[in-house]
Amino acid sequence: MWIFNFKARWNFVFSRVISPDKKEQIEEVKNIFSAYLEGKDLRKTTERFLILEEIYLRTDHFEAEFLYTDIRKKNFNISRATVYNTLELLVSCDLIKKHQFGKNLGQYEKSYGYKQHDHIICVDCKKVVEFCDPRIQQIKSMMGELLNFKITHHSLNMYGICGSCQKKRELEANIKKEAEKQTV
Ligand SMILES: [Zn+2]
Ligand SMILES: [Zn+2]
């Protein structure tokens, strides 16, 4: 029985072992969110803060539905609607970012205290990899100057096929070739 529950338990244990730095950051974002909700005359519900904490404990890019499923797995009784509208609120107060990685792939990530970065997305498995290249900063200031723009932000997504998907494609192509040989 314990083995079957291992994953759920591990999630639970993992989420409760929080480093002091992380704890501090979570307190900071909670304060920002609290001030935002107060300013908008919105209710400061436990659910909203719990969702924020769950997001800041993650290190990935995630879809709204994944977050909802993860929260349910941890036995927190929060509705899908609450998860979705809290995400919208967190985007509005700049605590999370929403990316559109491809047509049907809206993904979120935390943004407070997080370094500027860009993304490469695998078109096969949808894996998202982050990268940071100072040359992009140079392009921003150069283009801003050249075209007389005050650049406020940018978005750069690159798409391609990751290493393991390249191998998978090769393998599939070989299998197809072999099959074709045998039918001739
Ligand atoms: Zn891939
Ligand atoms: Zn990212």
Tens of pLDDT, residue by residue over 31-73, are: 999 999 999 999 999 999 999 999 999 989 999 999 999 999 9
Burial letters for 87-102: b for 16+ Cβ neighbours within 10 Å, e otherwise? bebbeebebbbebebe
pLDDT value of position 181 = 87
- Cα(132) to ligand 1 centroid in Å equals 20
- Cα(29) to ligand 1 centroid in Å equals 33
Name the band, by pLDDT with cuts 50, 70 and 90, for residue 177: very high
Question: Domains in the chain, ordered, with CATH?
Answer: 1-114 (1.10.10.10), 117-184 (3.30.1490.190)
pTM above the 0.75 mark?
Answer: yes
- Cα(60) to ligand 2 centroid in Å equals 7
| Residues having C-beta closer than 5 Å to ion ligand 1 | 122, 124-125, 127, 162, 165
- Cα(105) to ligand 2 centroid in Å equals 14
